[in-house]
Amino acid sequence: METLSAGDPQHVGPYWLAGRLGSGGQGVVYEAYDPEGHRVALKMLHPAGNGMAGRLAKEATAARRVASFCTAKVLAADLDGSRPYIVSEYVPGPSLRQAVTEGRRFTGDDLHRLATAVATALTAIHDAGVIHRDLKPDNVLLGPDGPRVIDFGIARTLDMSLTGTGEVAGTPSYLAPEVFAGQRAGAPADVFAWGATMVFATTGQDPFHADNLGGVMHRVLSHHPDLSALPSGLAPLVGAALRKEPAARPAARDLLLALVSGDCADLGGLLAEGSRAAGGVAAPGRADPALGTIAEDAYGSLGPEERDLAAEVFLRLVAIGEDGRETGRAASHDELFEGRPEREAEAVRRVLRAFSYVVSTDGHSVELARPALLRAWPRLRMWVNADRDGLAVLGEINRAARHWAEHGRRDADLLQGSRLEQALRWAATSRRHVTLTPRERDYLQAGTDLTRRRIRRRRLTVVALAGMLAVALAAGGVAVWQGRQTARQRDVAVARQAAAEADRLRTVDPVTAMRLSVAAWRLSPQPEARSSLMASLQQQETAVFRDPPVQGLAYRALSRDGRTMVSVSKQGVNVYDVRTGRRTGGWKGLGLKGEIVFAPVLSPSGRLLAQSTPEELGVWDLSTGRRVYEEKLEQASGGGYFPRFGEHETTLLVGYWEGLSHLVDLKTGKRFGRPVDRADGTEATPDDLLVDPTGRRMLVMQGKLGALSLPAWRRQGPYPACGRQSTVAAFSPDGRTLACAGDEIRLVDAASGQVRVKDDEWTCDLCGKALPGLRLDDRHVAVFSRRDLQVWRIADHREVLSYRAEGDLADVRLDPDGRTLRYLMDDVVVSVDLGPRVTSTRVSKDAEIRLGPRGRWATVADYEATRVKLMDLRTHRNVATFAKGSEESVVPGFDEPGGRLVLAGPESKVRLIDLRTSRQVWAVRTPKYNLPEQVQFSPDGTKVVMSMGPEGQSGPFRVMVYDAATGRTLHNYRTTVRGGPLTRDGTTLVTGSGTYLDLTTGRLAGTGFDLSAGGYSPALSSKGVIAIGQDEDGRIALWRFDPRGPTPIRPALPRAAGSVVLLAFSPDGSVLATLAGNGKLQLWDPAGKRRLGGSFDLHTFQMPDALTFSADGRTVYAAVDGTIHQVPVEPGQVAADVCRRAGGGLSERDWSAHLPEVPYRETC
């Protein structure tokens, strides 16, 4: 991968660029990383190629219609901005052309799998009504899971208009004859390119190569390539594909059928079969690690001294802009080396050498060579987030100190007043990883000296901070609060320390973390403490049990109910209740020959424990320690044989990584069975097999879900209700329900094999990932793979948990209480709360919900119904219903103090209803060609203001102003901008562009927001602060309301957890609530520019409806996907809720351990 050139941006939209993968006539392809650090491929249109925008739009449309069988999935696209781009999944591995150029030739089964992969991709592409038009060896990548067809750069759908006659789009030596003849390229042209690509893979030569375009045209039109090098089974198919007449060529689907001998009646199964058959083609020996992996490996190679310096080196290469966004910057050698002892300076040089792939250095400065490192490397993200506020201060200090030193060290260039206080406060108390340079220290000291000289009466804050800075600089670390400070100052410092410690302990000791956050808030209600308190309410982990250490290695298993962990080592067996931490059983010595290689397994009831070594297998009664079965084992590859329990208590599978050896009936000790094949004919591994609860049947997964009768070992019919591709399955505790999963999860009656409820299925992205696991109980379905975990509620298919662990999940179990999930990771068992951290009321399955601005009323309009309901949010009861006609949407306006409601529908009436009598007071017609978007009462209740949008994609906006008493139209304004909130005096509307609409004159005033990407859903606080969702990157801009136009408030808030679509301020303006399109609800302190905790995940697949605060500001309400969620905001209520979750406050012993500076006090 090439490094970025001087003209390349550091980021495009929310994606950060790591380097160039290639370029062509259409644009440049980059390796990039999304905000969560996932690697992607990003194609950006050349800046000069404005005429390509239409074609790029076609690419996005085409690619999104293609199923991801042997193709690179398109993840996102933005075609309207100044830099149009398309994002697809990154496929690590070389192109087919690279592999062949480096000497690889495809023959035999290898070639057959390659042909199958490309034919599978073409079948999926054509099934979506798309023509690729540029299939060639360069556009076939050999990924780790098989070949992938990429680049729909000149793809076209069947319903697009023809290009100009004679246009040649594509790579000439792989174009079909009809294209050179001026005909439109259809599906047969892709088949022709498939045949040519197979010839290239076998021979290493382009089949129609010539020195110029004319020569290529001649060979394509008249030459017949030599196919003698192709296998006899493939040569006829390639020959047919290369026929000159398009009508004579087979379809891609026919090619695929011939290659896999599949069932043409089921295209989905055929594509899945082709995808599986293609999985054996890979690029051995070619490592393509992600950028974060490269950086972490470099970090791991450092010694302790270099690791201590790495954070400082990299943070010097990061700048925080006024908008809160980080970017890479060049750090001078003076910043990195000046004032350091030679030993330390040499350690810095070793850091730069270790990271030479990701940083570039010259004789004067160092900078990030790959800006995407800011997203790709989790450790760097952690460093930046920990020091984000300080980096902005450091940047100001560094720039000002350089200017001061280069211009004669004049007093006029020194920091003064609050800016000096802020810099000193950070330098003395908040630095974590950065050491100030001598020049920066001199600059701050000069500013302090100047302040002392200018005022006779020393300012206590500046002098105290300056003294702390001197102590911090002399000690080379962060100064601590001195014992001479007052009790209040001590409590402030301890509260901040406790909040930070709580955040650090969330996944290590969740209960202590929650209790510490409450203690921090009770000590001193600092913003850090409030944020930590809110994070404790949001945190999903509720408890952690850690296996006590033993000599040597220990291997662990979790019981089916997740309440018991068994730890096995050469010293013996230990059994623990993970809820209490007590050891409940076990014995010394295992008595097995050989070293333990695999983890133990427990029977479904948890009564039996099975453990193996490469030499022996044993099964014990866990309650008595008595061995009930033993077996000598033969040698096997991959570490030997290992046991597996299914759903039957006394049937044990014995196998190795590549297949099954036999089964054991533990009641009789009898061995039976033999290796078994999957549906595709390959040998099944133990992970592909599951004995049912009766012990009379064994399921065979991977492909069509089949079964064998036990112990007769006879094939039984498949489970057709499970579809053609089941990668994993599980039974409910009572054995009556079978969950089977491939691309979708289905619940099947275990006895009949029929779907339990029609259409009772839902999508499962994790089921197709590596080594998936599936768990089922009466309430929930859980799926996990590697570090990721998802849980759905069976009753309504709603996702209740989406979770990423810090390491790979060894096992996941659902507690019978229905509220707790536990997972085993290394030596710990973590308990996760499945219950909501918010109060949720399901209102309707399919309705639009609008909330009143003071959290008293809500309207519920079912899309299929003809009436709209009015709900009291205090009781969650419907108190009235009103006709809404046939309109799909009704926009309400609430006058809660006056007890009035306005209902506005498209092409209908605006009605005002007196809620005390439920009588309609007045009704007027809405203007044609505009649709109501927002209705609000003026603060004094005398006017109704309705903002309207265009009926189609474009057209004017409109603002209507009505007399609230009579319905008389006071004003009818056509405007070019979308409406927004009213000012406190009710005379001005703040629009979505930041301009102001004067409701008395209809004129737009003000300069508007300076947002390059536009804005979303402005909110106006009682303090005159405007908040707006700035872009899809999750940034939130704050502006100060000014009659001349809004002025930006710097720095911006940190990035939100998604693209913000709804915002609301609390009545006093102290809290901002935001709701992203992905359902993430977050709270913010706009004055302190900080997030309050993390986020509440409301798990929605639809665009949120509404967001508002209660009149007292203690609660925020969110309407999402037919449900109203109620979130506590007032810190006292939050603390009470956290105390209940944690089971009380800190004990005196824990208080002394964590807060020794402060006398003990009750906190819960």
Convert the pLDDT of each residue in 995-1030 to its tens digit: 889 998 888 887 777 544 445 578 999 999 999 886
- What average pLDDT does range 794-819 have in this prediction? 88
Q: What is the pLDDT of residues 415-424, one digit of tens each?
A: 887 678 777 7
Band of pLDDT at residue 69, cut at 50, 70 and 90: low
- What average pLDDT does range 558-584 have in this prediction? 95
Instruction: Report the pLDDT value the prediction gives residue 456, as an integer from 0 to 100.
Output: 43
Q: What is the pLDDT of residues 844-873, one digit of tens each?
A: 877 889 999 988 999 998 877 778 899 999
**Domain made up of 1006-1121: CATH architecture:** 7 Propeller (2.130)
Instruction: Report the pLDDT value the prediction gives residue 432, as an integer from 0 to 100.
Output: 63
Helices 438-454, 388-406: crossing angle, 10 deg rounding: 80
Q: What is the pLDDT of residues 519-561, one digit of tens each?
A: 999 999 988 899 999 999 999 999 999 999 888 889 999 999 9
Indicate if the pLDDT at residue 55 is higher than 80.
no
Q: What is the pLDDT of residues 875-922, one digit of tens each?
A: 889 999 988 766 567 899 999 888 999 999 865 789 999 999 989 999
CA 107 to CA 243: how far, in whole Å?
Answer: 22
- Exposed, middle or buried by CB within 10 Å (0-12, 13-18, 19+), for 758? exposed
Instruction: Report the pLDDT value the prediction gives residue 546, as an integer from 0 to 100.
Output: 92
Please identify, in words, the CATH class of the domain defined by 844-1004. Answer: mainly beta
Output the average pLDDT for the chain.
84
Residues pairing with 438 in the sheet: none
Token pair recorded at residue 109: 């089964």
Any idea which of 6-20, 170-184, 327-341, 811-825 has the lowest mean pLDDT? 170-184
The yes-or-no answer to whether 1-90 and 92-286 have a common fold is no
- What average pLDDT does range 1113-1118 have in this prediction? 96
Q: Does domain 1-90 have CATH number 3.30.200.20?
A: yes
Instruction: Report the pLDDT value the prediction gives residue 218, as an integer from 0 to 100.
Output: 87
Instruction: Report the pLDDT value the prediction gives residue 409, as an integer from 0 to 100.
Output: 87
Instruction: Report the pLDDT value the prediction gives residue 472, as an integer from 0 to 100.
Output: 53
Instruction: Report the pLDDT value the prediction gives residue 556, as an integer from 0 to 100.
Output: 95
Q: What is the pLDDT of residues 722-772, one digit of tens each?
A: 877 788 899 998 889 999 888 788 898 888 888 877 666 777 878 877 778
- What average pLDDT does range 627-654 have in this prediction? 88
Instruction: Report the pLDDT value the prediction gives residue 1121, as an integer from 0 to 100.
Output: 86
Indicate if the pLDDT at residue 111 is higher than 70.
yes
Instruction: Report the pLDDT value the prediction gives residue 160, as an integer from 0 to 100.
Output: 33
Token pair recorded at residue 1014: 């536009």
- Measured from the Cβ of residue 235, the count of other Cβ atoms closer than 10 Å reads 16
What are all long-range contacts of 1037-1043, with beta carbons under 8 Å and residues at least 24 apart? 1037/323, 1037/1009, 1037/1011, 1038/1086, 1039/994, 1039/1009, 1041/983, 1041/990, 1042/1006, 1043/996, 1043/1005, 1043/1006
In this structure, is the dihedral angle defined by the CA atoms of residues 225, 226, 229 and 231, taken in order, positive or negative? positive
Any idea which of 400-414, 918-932, 1066-1080 has the lowest mean pLDDT? 400-414
Indicate if the pLDDT at residue 690 is higher than 80.
yes
HSE value, Cβ hemisphere, 13 Å, CA-based, for 46? 11
CA 559 to CA 578: how far, in whole Å?
Answer: 10
Residues pairing with 909 in the sheet: 925
Indicate if the pLDDT at residue 159 is higher than 50.
no
What does pTM read for this prediction?
Answer: 0.60
The residue assigned the tokens 């992203």 is 1076
| pLDDT over 90 percentage in the chain | 37
Instruction: Report the pLDDT value the prediction gives residue 64, as an integer from 0 to 100.
Output: 62
Q: What is the pLDDT of residues 625-639, one digit of tens each?
A: 999 999 998 876 556
- Measured from the Cβ of residue 766, the count of other Cβ atoms closer than 10 Å reads 20
Band of pLDDT at residue 189, cut at 50, 70 and 90: very high
More reliable by pLDDT, 195 or 24: 195
CA 769 to CA 785: how far, in whole Å?
Answer: 6
- What average pLDDT does range 938-955 have in this prediction? 87
Coil/strand/helix, residue 1160: coil
Indicate if the pLDDT at residue 370 is higher than 80.
yes
- Residue 9 phi, psi (nearest 5): -75, 160
Q: Residue type at 28? A: V
Peptide bond into 711 cis (omega under 30): yes
Instruction: Report the pLDDT value the prediction gives residue 375, as an integer from 0 to 100.
Output: 87
The set of residues, in sequence order, having a beta carbon less than 8 Å from that of 1083 and lying 6+ positions away, is 534, 1071, 1072, 1073, 1091, 1092, 1093, 1116, 1127, 1129
**CATH homologous superfamily for 92-286?**
Transferase(Phosphotransferase) domain 1 (1.10.510.10)
The 10 Å CB-count burial string (b at 16+, else e) for 626-651 is eebbebebeebeeebbbbbbbbbbbb
Indicate if the pLDDT at residue 21 is higher than 60.
yes
- What average pLDDT does range 1127-1148 have in this prediction? 94
Coil/strand/helix, residue 897: coil
Q: What is the pLDDT of residues 273-312, one digit of tens each?
A: 565 555 556 555 555 788 888 888 888 888 878 888 888 8
Indicate if the pLDDT at residue 498 is higher than 80.
yes
Q: What is the pLDDT of residues 73-102, one digit of tens each?
A: 777 777 766 678 888 888 888 889 989 998
Instruction: Report the pLDDT value the prediction gives residue 1054, as an integer from 0 to 100.
Output: 80
Instruction: Report the pLDDT value the prediction gives residue 457, as an integer from 0 to 100.
Output: 39
Domain boundaries, the chain: 1-90, 92-286, 289-383, 387-480, 844-1004, 1006-1121
Band of pLDDT at residue 458, cut at 50, 70 and 90: very low
Instruction: Report the pLDDT value the prediction gives residue 759, as an integer from 0 to 100.
Output: 64
More reliable by pLDDT, 420 or 57: 420
